[in-house]
């Protein structure tokens, strides 16, 4: 579809789900891929899958909430590939509960991973991209950032924060030919949505005009597009991949 030959991409949360699908899709498009997450066994499997398909990949064990680990992870990528062109901030967690009873640690852990983690990665990536005068940063937000969701104040705040972060950084770095965009997935079939009670799933499905859950490769395809040369005039944008669940 799009040609990413010669590009190097780092994807956080690449050990499973949307991040894994994105790592595979970017590699299929020709990028050399750094797959980052905490679970080293799953990362090794993703790297092996890319290698067996003829691509080049590196496992980067890293907790995005830990600044020292993020710094070391990016150094590992530069040591191996010598450059970085594409950053996908996809790592994300939930700690659901009603706001009135939300524990401070559940608020802080989610904000630290989903939002601060993205900033830490962006800072490391920009140090390279600003020199290269080319870059693509894609932040994985969520439809709930746009429509709200009961029981997810921490997650929704983190994902809405990512949209603000996307727009602020987009303005800061546009003059260096670096674009910064977000994708806002709807209800995607992954380990994150698997535990939802059947009644909640049925209710959500009834509200989705396309009448089905999304697939991780459909989110990955939107990310590959935003990472491409062809998307070079799109910045500060939020691309919905939600089956029509929310129309901005
Ligand atoms: P998932 O299967 O639970 O995957 C989450 C990924 O994030 C895993 O690879 C996990 O890897 C990684 N991760 C979590 N905490 C991390 C940390 N501290 N440092 C590094 N990596 C970390 O979920 P998913 O559905 O693929 O979600 C991917 C992204 O899409 C998330 O940001 C999520 O909020 C967003 N999203 C999902 C949906 C959906 O319906 N599924 C909808 C909207 C948005 P390790 O555990 O190995 O670290």
Tens of pLDDT, residue by residue over 161-190, are: 999 999 999 999 999 999 999 999 999 999
Mutation pick for ligand 1 pocket among 15, 18, 222 (CB with most ligand atoms within 8 Å): 18
Catalytic residues, by residue number, are: 155
pLDDT in tens, 86-112: 999 999 999 999 999 999 999 999 999
Is 90 exceeded by the pLDDT of residue 3? yes
- DSSP code, position 54: T
Tell me the CA distances in angstroms from 236 to 9, 19, 78, one per residue in order. 19, 21, 26
Residues with beta carbon inside 6 Å of ligand 1? 12-13, 15-19, 37-39, 42, 63-65, 90-93, 113, 140, 142, 185, 187-188, 190-193
Token pair of 206 as six digits? 């009834």
Let me know if residue 49 belongs to a domain. yes
pLDDT in tens, 110-124: 999 999 999 999 999
| Nearby residues of 18 by Cβ (< 8 Å), 6 or more positions away | 90, 140, 185, 188, 190, 216, 219, 220
In this prediction, residue 248 carries a pLDDT of 81
Measured between alpha carbons, how far apart are the two ends of the chain, in Å?
27
Domain count, the chain: 1
Let me know if residue 1 belongs to a domain. no
Let me know if residue 135 belongs to a domain. yes
Q: Name the residue at shortest CA distance from atom 12 of ligand 1.
A: 13
Tell how far the Cα of 151 is from the centroid of ligand 1, in angstroms: 18
Q: Which domain holds residue 23?
A: 8-240
Q: What is the mean pLDDT of the chain?
A: 98
Whole-structure pTM value: 0.99
Let me know if residue 247 belongs to a domain. no
Mutation pick for ligand 1 pocket among 37, 142, 166 (CB with most ligand atoms within 8 Å): 37
Let me know if residue 223 belongs to a domain. yes
**In terms of C-beta distances under 8 Å and separation of at least 24 residues, what long-range contacts does 36-43 make, across chains too?**
36/10, 36/11, 36/12, 36/60, 36/61, 36/62, 36/64, 36/73, 36/91, 37/12, 37/13, 37/61, 37/62, 37/91, 38/62, 38/63, 39/15, 42/15, 42/16, 43/14, 43/15
Phi, psi (rounded to 5 degrees) for 11? -120, 125
H/E stretch holding 110: helix 104-111
pLDDT in tens, 188-239: 999 999 999 999 999 999 999 999 999 999 999 999 999 999 999 999 999 9
H/E stretch holding 200: helix 198-207
- Judged on CB neighbours under 10 Å (0-12, 13-18, 19+), 151 is middle
Let me know if residue 2 belongs to a domain. no
Let me know if residue 66 belongs to a domain. yes
Is 90 exceeded by the pLDDT of residue 1? no
Answer for the pair 104, 161: CB distance below 8 angstroms, yes or no. Answer: no
Let me know if residue 204 belongs to a domain. yes
Tell how far the Cα of 37 is from the centroid of ligand 1, in angstroms: 9
Token pair of 138 as six digits? 């894609």
CATH of the domain at 110: 3.40.50.720
Rg (CA), the chain: 17
Tell how far the Cα of 18 is from the centroid of ligand 1, in angstroms: 7
Tell how far the Cα of 82 is from the centroid of ligand 1, in angstroms: 27
């Amino acid at each position: 579809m799009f040609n990413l030959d010669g590009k190097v991409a780092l994807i956080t949360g690449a050990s499973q789900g949307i991040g894994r699908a994105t790592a595979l899709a970017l590699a299929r498009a020709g990028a050399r891929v750094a797959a980052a997450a905490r679970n080293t066994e799953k990362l090794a499997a993703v790297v092996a899958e890319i290698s067996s398909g003829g691509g080049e990949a590196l496992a980067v064990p890293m907790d995005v909430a830990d600044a020292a680990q993020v710094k070391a992870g990016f150094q590992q990528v530069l040591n191996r590939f010598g450059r970085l062109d594409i950053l996908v901030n996809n790592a994300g967690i939930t700690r659901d509960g009603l706001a009135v009873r939300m524990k401070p640690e559940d608020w802080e852990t989610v904000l630290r991973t989903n939002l601060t983690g993205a900033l830490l990665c962006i800072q490391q990536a920009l140090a390279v991209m600003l020199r290269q005068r080319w870059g693509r940063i894609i932040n994985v937000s969520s439809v709930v950032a746009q429509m709200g969701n009961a029981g997810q104040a921490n997650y929704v705040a983190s994902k809405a924060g990512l949209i603000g972060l996307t727009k602020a950084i987009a303005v800061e770095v546009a003059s260096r030919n670096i674009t910064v965009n977000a994708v806002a997935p709807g209800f995607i079939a992954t380990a994150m949505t698997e535990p939802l009670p059947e009644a909640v799933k049925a209710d959500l499905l009834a509200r989705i005009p396309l009448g089905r859950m999304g697939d991780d490769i459909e989110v990955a395809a939107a990310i590959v597009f935003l990472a491409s040369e062809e998307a070079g005039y799109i910045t500060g944008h939020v691309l919905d991949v939600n089956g029509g669940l929310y129309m901005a």
